[in-house]
Amino acid sequence: MYLRPLAIGASTFIPGMRRLLTQRGTGSTSSATYCYEVWLKHLVLLWAHGMRAMPKTLAELGPGDSLGVGLAAVLCGVDHYFALDVVNYSNPRLNLAVFDELIALLRNRTPRTHTGWPDYDQYLDNNLFPSHILTDGVLEKSLAPSRIERIRAVLKTRERESRDICIEYRAPWLDDDVIDKESVDVVLSHAVLQSVLDLDRTYAALYAGLKPGGSMSHQIDFTSFRTSRQWNGHWAYSEAVWKLIVGKRPYLINREPHSTHVDLLRKHGFELVCDLQNYSNEPGIRRSQLSARWNRIGEDDFACAGAFIQARKPEIRVHAV
């Protein structure tokens, strides 16, 4: 038995420890380059799968340490950005620092710096920049000095809105109706849905919040998040052990595999437009080690370490009478 995750889980029952673990942050979105690349990847793949205009309204689940992914989107022309998290990680000072770096990255049409997964180079120009979407005309408008100052004013004053720009951060995000019905063009999340506890309710809320014809883009990680030595060892733990590992943390991972997401998307009425799966090269646990809850997991799910999923809410259908 791998004791480290059990010890960490147990420590969250000690008063103060949970806060200490949360204060460490989530790690990635404090880097402007990371946020820039995450936004470019989701944007380029949304475009490749049928989106033909910059969204006006974007909602992001689980932005983490900064609002940088959404700020990159706002700098490309998104006017309304809603960030929904369960933990209030982000702070205005870091957001402003990331924002300034993002302006420079976009003004310089900075090429994406690393390939990552999924690889989307085929959609980029020779300079590894999406100049077919972020044309000079688009960026001239979205990066106009007066617009940048309005965005900065919203970030500085923490007032949600300045004329056309609205940035709203809800953490914790508790109510399903935080997002107004049919108000959002695109919902995005990156390394988040593997942690959402009530996926059914969340997908229902996202469906309700999206405009007809709106899109979702999610990268999901199905690995064990260091709760075991093997990448898929989280599926070996019994329910009782898993409860101890999670402890009193507000979230860890829900352990749901790829097919759960696909099934829920279909159940809620989404059309799947992209479903890329990443299969691990690392040796994992054997099927015989799976716990009772997971021992019927399909071969495909058992090998799938990550997915990049995009889906559309259908346009309203007009029925002939």
For ligand SAM, the binding residue among 195, 217, 228, 230 (CB under 6 A) is: 195
* Numbers of helices and strands, H then E, in the chain: 11, 8
For ligand SAM, the binding residue among 192, 220, 246, 273 (CB under 6 A) is: 192
The answer to the question of residue 87 lying near ligand SAM (CB under 6 A) is: yes
For ligand SAM, the binding residue among 190, 258, 261, 312 (CB under 6 A) is: 190
What binding mask, one character per residue, do residues 140-179 give for ligand SAM by CB under 6 A, x or -?
---------------------------------x------
| CA 241-247-248 angle, 5° bins | 155
Q: Quick one: 24 or 296, whose CB is closer to ligand SAM?
A: 24
Rounded Cα gap, residues 99 and 106, in angstroms: 11
DSSP, residue by residue, 179-228: SPTT-EEEEEEES-TTT-S-HHHHHHHHHHHEEEEEEEEEEEE-S-TTSS
Of the listed pieces 48-56, 59-67, 72-80, 111-119, which binds ligand SAM according to CB under 6 A?
A: 59-67
The answer to the question of residue 85 lying near ligand SAM (CB under 6 A) is: yes
The answer to the question of residue 123 lying near ligand SAM (CB under 6 A) is: no
**Token pair belonging to 216:** 């979702």
The answer to the question of residue 59 lying near ligand SAM (CB under 6 A) is: no
List all residues 6 or more positions away from 304 whose beta carbon is below 8 Å from its beta carbon: 222, 257, 258, 277, 278, 279
The answer to the question of residue 196 lying near ligand SAM (CB under 6 A) is: yes
The answer to the question of residue 301 lying near ligand SAM (CB under 6 A) is: no
The answer to the question of residue 233 lying near ligand SAM (CB under 6 A) is: no
Of the listed pieces 6-14, 80-88, 206-214, 302-310, which binds ligand SAM according to CB under 6 A?
A: 80-88
Rounded Cα gap, residues 298 and 12, in angstroms: 33
Pick from 81, 111, 120, 117: nearest CA to 99? 81
CB-based closest residue to ligand SAM: 62
List all residues 6 or more positions away from 314 whose beta carbon is below 8 Å from its beta carbon: 212, 213, 269, 271
What residue ranges bind ligand SAM (CB under 6 A)?
26, 28-29, 38, 61-64, 84-87, 89, 173, 190-192, 195-196, 251
